[in-house]
Structure 1
Amino acid sequence: MASSSGFDGIEASFTCSGKSHSLDEELRTHKPSDPTWNKIGACWVFYANPFAVKPVEVNDLAIQLWLDFLSSKEKVTVDCVKEIAVASGVIGGKWLIFVHKSTIDEVWAKIAKATVERKLGTASKVATVHAAKIQNKNPNLHVICVFTENWTDKDDVMRVEKELRSLGVTGVIRYKPDIYTHLNLYHGNKYGIKTTIYESKDKKQSK
């Protein structure tokens, strides 16, 4: 296990050997519901697609373009944020899936395996019981983020959505481009713009 600085806490990340028995063992001993995460203050468990291209993180160009736009006093819109994302190369994004604590270990195991097996996107991470307790308005819910390489590639984004449904993900899930997070644009932001660009509804009801 390797740890690095993460959002509001330690981000516990695991480098998988690619062998099924190793992955199964990791998932069994590092369940998101494990109360041990509270003791060490870890907020996330992370798995990467071993063959995926790592998305471009926030960079000086993205920040500068954002500051320049704000100084222009023009209205902040989804289109202007998209232009900044494309110009700076920050085009990754993620599906946001909220799962009840009663099923989080089961759902996460399926998504983690599919990520390592290259059936989803670039990576996936799940909020631990510690993160659910300190970050969510509802501590009974865990969020799973399933990342894709390029949010402007709608075909690929929806391919991942279809795969998530085949894994048994139910309820409403939403897709958020990383650029919004990097620019500190969250739900209820002062500019009044939505920070999720795709929404998928399922007939089944999540628990």
Structure 2
Amino acid sequence: MESDSDFYGDEEAVSVLEARVNDFDIVGWWDRRSGALNHSQYATHKPLPQPVPAGGLSSDPDEHQPGARRLSEAVDDFLARLPPATTDWRPGLDWIWISNPYAPPRRDQALTRFRKGGEERLVLFSEFYKMATASGARAAGGSLMALRRDISEERRETIADLRELAVACNVVMGKWMLFPEPGHVNEVWAKVARATANGELGITAKVDTRVRANKERLVCVYTQDFRDKDDVARVLNRMRDLELVMPGGKQIYYKSDAWTELGIYGGNDWGIAASTYSSNEIFRYIKTVATRAS
């Protein structure tokens, strides 16, 4: 190899791509195209407390949808009306869900802006990755190691940009995911639903309706902000109390809604981890916090 340009591609292609990647301001990009985005309301790490409506309970604006629990409905009646083990999927009934009536009202999300801006950033990374790996086919030894470092660094920057955009657009919810077998889904869901209705878990929870009788089910337990590790840990700890997960047992995973909106799943082409946390990681965090406090 005679020069760096032989490794990375011709000089013009390299300069154009590097300029696009390095200069890409993901929030500003959408400001210029979609109008000014008011970032000040999203600036704090935790949402400011909001008043709970008179009566002490916050209603779900979608509570009249077929899969939702009505605020006036007893939890046992809700569970009897929509048992997940036998409630079949139909148009308009993809999920059964229950909201925490003690949680503050949720803030609006700029989902369209987030999806489009996030997809553009992923395209930039894909272009970088394709060019780099094409050049890497001719590389060996130290040059190949340098290439891998460059790809890893660009991946980290992509993730940081996507997280920044998620915060700016208020796409910050996330969820712990449980996958009970069909024979246990009613039991697992009942524990989650009751704890959610009592304000003991997160802001809402849902379970998918039945598509195939022998298919494991997905139960999502949502928290308000994936950046709030203490709250994520609090919810996991309560799930341990409910015997839904155990330290050292089968791991469960927490995933941000931002990644779901962008279609970032396991084995994706970008090499981006699909989950934000694992239960083992958060249990270690809980233990570390407890040790420091003692």
TM interval, short-chain normalised: 0.7 to 0.9
Aligned residue in 2 for 1:50:
101
Aligned residue in 2 for 1:205:
none
Taking the aligned partners of 1:93 and 1:30, their CA distance within structure 2 comes to 24
Alignment of 1:88-167 (within 5 A): 88-130=169-211, 133=212, 139-167=214-242
Q: Once the 2 structures are TM-superposed, how far is the Cα of residue 68 of structure 1 from its aligned partner?
A: 4.4
Q: Residues 97 and 206 of structure 2 are in contact (CA less than 8 Å); yes or no, is this contact kept in structure 1?
A: yes
Alpha carbons of structure 1 residues 119 and 59: separation in structure 2 relative to 1, 3 Å: same
Which TM-score applies when normalising by structure 1? 0.79
Q: Once the 2 structures are TM-superposed, how far is the Cα of residue 178 of structure 1 from its aligned partner?
A: 0.3
Aligned residue in 1 for 2:68:
13
Query: Greater strand share, 1 or 2?
Result: 1
Q: Residues 98 and 141 of structure 1 are in contact (CA less than 8 Å); yes or no, is this contact kept in structure 2?
A: yes
Taking the aligned partners of 1:47 and 1:55, their CA distance within structure 2 comes to 18
Taking the aligned partners of 2:193 and 2:107, their CA distance within structure 1 comes to 18
For residue 2 of structure 1, what is the amino acid of its counterpart?
H
Q: Once the 2 structures are TM-superposed, how far is the Cα of residue 59 of structure 1 from its aligned partner?
A: 2.1
Q: Residues 100 and 204 of structure 2 are in contact (CA less than 8 Å); yes or no, is this contact kept in structure 1?
A: yes
Q: Once the 2 structures are TM-superposed, how far is the Cα of residue 43 of structure 1 from its aligned partner?
A: 2.6
Q: Once the 2 structures are TM-superposed, how far is the Cα of residue 54 of structure 1 from its aligned partner?
A: 2.1
Taking the aligned partners of 2:188 and 2:269, their CA distance within structure 1 comes to 34
Q: Residues 96 and 173 of structure 1 are in contact (CA less than 8 Å); yes or no, is this contact kept in structure 2?
A: yes
1:192 and 2:267 are equivalent in the alignment:
no
For residue 67 of structure 2, what is the amino acid of its counterpart?
A
Q: Residues 58 and 182 of structure 1 are in contact (CA less than 8 Å); yes or no, is this contact kept in structure 2?
A: no
Aligned residue in 2 for 1:66:
118
Query: What SS is found at the alignment partner of 1:106?
Result: helix
Q: Once the 2 structures are TM-superposed, how far is the Cα of residue 174 of structure 1 from its aligned partner?
A: 0.3
Q: Looking at CA atoms only, which structure, 1 or 2, has the larger radius of gyration?
A: 2
For residue 166 of structure 1, what is the amino acid of its counterpart?
D
Structure 2 residue runs without a partner (length 5+): 1-62, 129-153, 284-294
Q: Residues 119 and 262 of structure 2 are in contact (CA less than 8 Å); yes or no, is this contact kept in structure 1?
A: no
For residue 181 of structure 1, what is the amino acid of its counterpart?
T
For residue 88 of structure 2, what is the amino acid of its counterpart?
W
Taking the aligned partners of 1:97 and 1:14, their CA distance within structure 2 comes to 20
Alpha carbons of structure 1 residues 163 and 92: separation in structure 2 relative to 1, 3 Å: same
Taking the aligned partners of 2:256 and 2:108, their CA distance within structure 1 comes to 12
Aligned residue in 1 for 2:251:
172
Superposed CA RMSD in Å reads: 2.4
Q: 2:81 aligns with which of 29, 33, 39?
A: 29
- Ranked by relative contact order (alpha carbons within 8 Å, sequence separation 6 or more), the top structure is 1
Alpha carbons of structure 1 residues 104 and 70: separation in structure 2 relative to 1, 3 Å: closer
Q: Deviation per CA, 1:26-62, whole angstroms, max 9, x where unpaired?
A: 212311001x425x45331000112323264452331
Taking the aligned partners of 1:46 and 1:196, their CA distance within structure 2 comes to 22
Q: Deviation per CA, 1:90-124, whole angstroms, max 9, x where unpaired?
A: 11100011111111101101100111111111100
Query: Greater helix share, 1 or 2?
Result: 2
1:85 and 2:136 are equivalent in the alignment:
no
Taking the aligned partners of 1:120 and 1:13, their CA distance within structure 2 comes to 17
